[in-house]
Amino acid sequence: MKLTLAQLNPIVGDIEGNLDKACRTVQEHGRESDLVVFPELFLVGYPPHDLLVRQRFVDRVDDAIARLCKFSLKFPETGILIGAPVTSETNGKRRLHNAALLIADGDIVGRVYKSLLPSYDVFDEPRYFDPAPDINPVTFKGETLGISVCEDYWNEPELWPDGAYGIDPIGILARRGATLFINISGSPFYLGKDEIRYRLLVNHIKKHHIPFVFVNQVGGNDELIFDGRSLCLDGKGHIIAALPSFEESIITINTSASGTGEMIDHPDEEAEIESALHLGIRDYLRKTGFSKAVIGISGGIDSAIVLCLASHALGPENVLGIAMPSQYSSDASLADARQLADNLGVELRVIPIAPIYDAYLKSFRDHLQTNELDVSLENVQARIRGNILMAFSNKFGYLVLSTGNKSELATGYCTLYGDMAGGLAVISDLPKTTVYKLARYMNRKQTVIPEHIITRPPSAELRPDQTDQDTLPPYDILDEILHYYVEEGYSLRDIIQRGFDSEVAKWVVHTVDRNEYKRRQAPPGLKITSKAFGIGRRMPIAAKH
């Protein structure tokens, strides 16, 4: 079978635009193909969240499906396999399904509903969908297609040793005569996930000796980044086609071909992070109607990384950096900020905040009953900077990109309405140690980030001679503890048993828990690790545990 893998980037909720993109793809590639395959829920984009509870929205999907069926009459030799939410009626009750629809010659010739509905991490599909009442292959063009939707191929003992799901949709399809597996997915990226997907696909092939086609969405939708990396594997698990990561791609292949090799080489972790964040920034702005970004540039490594990422993702002409030195900022910080902006070709404006800060002090120092530079006055400086950035956003339509990293967000080493102000938290899922690695990677060919920014001790510069390690444990220790607690879900006891100092471990764990209220008010952050703060980690605020 000649099959076209359409690894495309839909916009959530844009039914009309996504339908048009599907039709144009079939128009350009349909005549050379028996079947054009689109990703999961492509007509509405993934994930659509509570748009699915709006009946008018679902009705518009039904209308789009009817129009796609009519469009298919122009290509009587070509099928269209596309993901969409569809309704069914059982015992007088209307139910919604996450469906793969096979459309050909003006009609829906196959309906496959998703069986396994994930409810972990960023997923909440049982909130919207009912599972498939039955699992059957679909006959088309001489093949018996074992069609599945995303999670349906994830029921593997190595992932769920305790048995998360009671059925194995891929095994059922194989037993019922499937000759070709096709999985349409909206599988979001995190580091290492592509290796897991590949291993799962190969495991299914080893069990059933049936070729497998995997078509994944690409693009950024809110916090989530979809990496694509669609695959076609032969009956031995060898690769017939591997589509690129983090970009749209369309290819037509013959599923009866023999593959030529094993899994392609895995890129460096830093290269993946950089590509993912470029896509996440670019799509977040494009899909929310922004074209330019503004960033507070301190002369530190976090803001340097964000400025580099934004300038590459959006073009330096679409990024504005603002340095806001205080009386506690070093001359070196401003010099580094200027050099960084020059290296990137980004405009940098300098707005000293000392006069504004002095005016604040004059207005309320007596009311705060303090003559010392305590945390309240440190945070005033951060909030002045947040106000300046938001003023530029309001006046000129820039999106503010905040620059805090995961280590800071985890421990609350950040200021509400100050450095946390913004529309998108670009590196909020990057631990500080990863930020340093990424900086070195960005400088691999030439020095973009001044060396002094990377080598000097990190500091918020909100008081004289301040460094991060005045408050936080060394970042290598902090980040390892955070990995076990936040991403792996280890208990405090488990962490201490791994050899960490008990007092340091207690401080980290308790500080993470205590600062949940800050994270709830943070801007959306791009997900890079297996467990990011945000929609995938829903912890109570007013709680004791």
- Where in the sequence numbering do the catalytic residues fall? 40, 114, 150
DSSP one-letter string for 276-326: HHHHHHHHHHHHHT---EEEE--SSHHHHHHHHHHHHHH-GGGEEEEE---
The helix (H) or strand (E) run that includes residue 465 is: none
User: Given 3-state DSSP classes, what are the helix, strand and coil percentages for the chain, each rounded to the nearest 5?
Assistant: 40, 20, 40
Residue 480, Cα to own-chain centre: how many angstroms? Answer: 22
Encode 137-173: b = buried (16+ Cβ within 10 Å), e = exposed: bbebeebbbbbbbbbbbbbbeeeeeeeebeebbbebb
SS (H, E, C) 181-244: EEEEECCECCCCHHHHHHHHHHHHHHHHCCCEEEEECEEEECCEEEEECCEEECCCCCEEEECC
Residue 134 bridge partners (DSSP)? none
**CA 223 from centroid of its chain's CA atoms:** 5
Q: Decide: residue 264, CB within 10 A, 0-12 exposed, 13-18 middle, 19+ buried.
A: middle
Buried b (16+ CB within 10 A) or exposed e, 451-469: eebbebebbbbbbeebebe
**CB 398 within 8 Å of CB 292:** yes
Q: How many angstroms separate the Cα of 418 from the Cα of each of 45, 306, 328, 377, 413?
A: 33, 17, 17, 12, 11
Rg (CA), the chain: 26
**What is the spatial distance between Cα 98 and Cα 120, in angstroms, rounded to a whole number?**
17
Contact 468, 413 (CB under 8 A): yes
Angle at alpha carbon of residue 383, lines to 381 and 388, rounded to 5°: 100
Gap between the Cα atoms of 402 and 405, Å rounded = 9
Give the closest residue to 221 by CA, choosing from 168, 280, 162, 275.
Answer: 280
Q: How many CB atoms lie within 10 A of CB 471?
A: 13
Q: Which pair of structure tokens corresponds to residue 131?
A: 């599972």
- Residue whose token pair is 């309320």: 364
Residue with tokens 């994270």: 519
| Residues near 110 by beta carbon (within 8 Å), at least 6 away in sequence | 100, 101, 102, 138, 140, 145, 147
Whole-Å CA distances, 211 to 203, 234, 254: 12, 4, 11
Counts for the chain of helices (H) and strands (E), in that order: 16, 19
